[in-house]
């Protein structure tokens, strides 16, 4: 053990090695810094919480888009089934209204408002 002058009168007293080192703050600072690094890696790292939140938001957006597409698919499926129904009038209605087709002997008349030039188109025959 070493001796230190510790009193005002200059006398020496024995000091233990632990007291000589001072308080052990270095270990606590190192431990706190290490813990901070671990927390930052857990939050912002490649597999961290922020990345997981962003990916969860992307999954929710894709689920919403999928729901819209599935709803459109259902509408198109029912329309296709109506078109393919034997003896149904849906195919004939679509052919006449959307494609301006006519059956033999039918006469097609297009009604227009008076603002533009009137054109009469018989349309393609089926």
The model's pLDDT over 5-31, given as tens digits with 9 standing for 90+, comes to 556 666 777 777 766 666 667 788 888
Residues 6+ apart with CB under 8 A from 109: 120
For 3, phi and psi rounded to 5 degrees? -115, 150
Instruction: Report the C-alpha gap between 59 and 49 in whole angstroms.
Output: 15
Expressed as residue numbers, the domain containing 73 is: 12-97
- What is the structure's pLDDT at 33? 92
Number of domain units in the chain? 1
- What is the structure's pLDDT at 45? 79
- What is the structure's pLDDT at 8? 64
For 113, phi and psi rounded to 5 degrees? -75, 165
Question: For residue 1, is pLDDT > 70?
Answer: no
Tell whether 23 is covered by a domain. Answer: yes
Tell whether 122 is covered by a domain. Answer: no
- pLDDT, tens digit, 9 for 90 and up, residues 76-115: 999 999 888 888 788 888 888 888 888 888 887 778 877 7
- What is the structure's pLDDT at 2? 56
Residue that is written with structure tokens 């606590």 in the block: 28
Structure tokens at 55: 């990916």
Residue that is written with structure tokens 């939050």 in the block: 43
- What is the structure's pLDDT at 7? 61
Tell whether 22 is covered by a domain. Answer: yes
Tell whether 80 is covered by a domain. Answer: yes
Question: For residue 51, is pLDDT > 60?
Answer: yes
């Amino acid at each position: 053990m070493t001796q230190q002058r510790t009193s005002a009168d200059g006398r020496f007293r024995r000091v233990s090695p632990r007291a000589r080192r001072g308080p052990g703050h270095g270990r606590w600072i190192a431990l706190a810094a290490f813990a901070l690094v671990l927390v930052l890696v857990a939050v912002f790292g490649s597999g961290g919480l922020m990345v997981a939140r962003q990916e969860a938001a992307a999954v929710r957006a894709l689920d919403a888009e999928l729901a819209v597409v599935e709803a459109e698919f259902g509408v198109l499926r029912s329309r296709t089934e109506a078109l393919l129904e034997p003896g149904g009038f849906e195919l004939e209605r679509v052919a006449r209204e959307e494609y301006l087709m006519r059956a033999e002997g039918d006469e097609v008349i297009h009604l227009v408002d008076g603002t533009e030039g009137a054109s009469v188109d018989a349309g393609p025959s089926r």
